Amino acid sequence: MILAPSILTADFLRLGDQVEAALAAGVRWLHLDVMDGRFVPNISFGPLVARALRPLATRYDAILDAHLMIVDPERYLEEFVAAGCERITVHVEACTHLHRTVQSIHALGARPGVALNPATPLGALEEILPEVDLVLVMTVNPGFGGQSFIAGGLDKVARLRQMLRARRLDAVDIQVDGGVNSETIGPLRDAGATVAVAGSAIFAPDRGVAGAIGALRAALGERR
Ligand code: DX5
Ligand code: ZN
């Protein structure tokens, strides 16, 4: 399973050090939670932070994964790709013309993902599934780190994996995001998730970043 730390809960006074600690612990996927205060009730950061982290990601051959929790995300696709994001995930609920937005991400040379809020049914993916590299199943209501895992997410991941298998789209990643920790990460992997986003489980101040990553790997039965 790929671990993708969400920097939203990192200590922004020392963001570079914290991200480097995660990279040094073997992480190669950084999850950037972009929030506009309209699609979600919080404002986080924009392409500036991706641009700041790009040299560090390059040094470790890691990717930047922009999770756009913003209305009309097509307005900013170019800026996030230019800032160095290889993955761009947009919310189904935020796109009037989702197919066109996904095509635009492809055209910019990035790999598109689509995200579903907890109450959005998998049926919303029917037509777009063959066009994307990743589906992000939100296991909290978006907007904040440190929330509790929504248990229904487990079954949703399992149903999505079945859906992908039935359509011979097994290569599509299922990314889970929100409340992922040592208790939930194993069942999520077993249900078919392939990328685990974790914020507070990795950057919570009570333990070091490397130790937190090791604990998640141990929960997966992997070498720490
Ligand atoms: C929430 C974000 C998540 C969140 C994860 O809107 O999309 O990535 O930061 O934080 P934790 O792992 O603490 O739930
Ligand atoms: Zn996220």
For residue 139, the tally of other CB atoms under 10 A from its CB is 26
Q: What lines the ligand 1 site, CB under 6 Å?
A: 6, 8-9, 31, 33, 67, 69, 140, 142-143, 145-147, 177-180, 197-201
Report CA(111)–ligand 1 centroid distance (Å). 21
The tokens of 36 are what? 């506009």
Helix, strand, coil percentages for the chain (3-state, nearest 5): 45, 20, 35
Q: What is the pLDDT of residues 111-135, one digit of tens each?
A: 999 999 999 999 999 999 999 999 9
Element (H, E) at 68: strand 63-69
Report CA(4)–ligand 2 centroid distance (Å). 10
Catalytic residue numbers read: 33, 177
Residue showing tokens 């982290």 = 53
Q: What is the pLDDT of residues 189-201, one digit of tens each?
A: 999 999 999 999 9
Q: What is the pLDDT of residue 134?
A: 98
pLDDT band at 206 (very low <50, low <70, confident <90, very high): confident
CA 80/CA 29 separation, integer angstroms: 16
Atom of ligand 1 nearest to the CA of 199: 12
User: Which residues lie closer than 8 Å to 115 by C-beta, 6 or more apart?
Assistant: 67, 69, 89, 90, 91, 92, 135, 136, 137, 138, 142, 177
On the question of pLDDT at 97 being above 80, the answer is: yes
Q: What is the pLDDT of residue 224?
A: 65
Please state the rounded mean pLDDT for residues 157-181: 98
pLDDT band at 204 (very low <50, low <70, confident <90, very high): confident
pLDDT band at 85 (very low <50, low <70, confident <90, very high): very high
Instruction: Specify whether the CB–CB gap between 216 and 1 falls below 8 A.
Output: no
Instruction: Name the amino acid, one letter, at 193.
Output: A
pTM of this structure: 0.98
Atom of ligand 1 nearest to the CA of 141: 6
The tokens of 184 are what? 């939930």
Q: DSSP label at 8? A: G
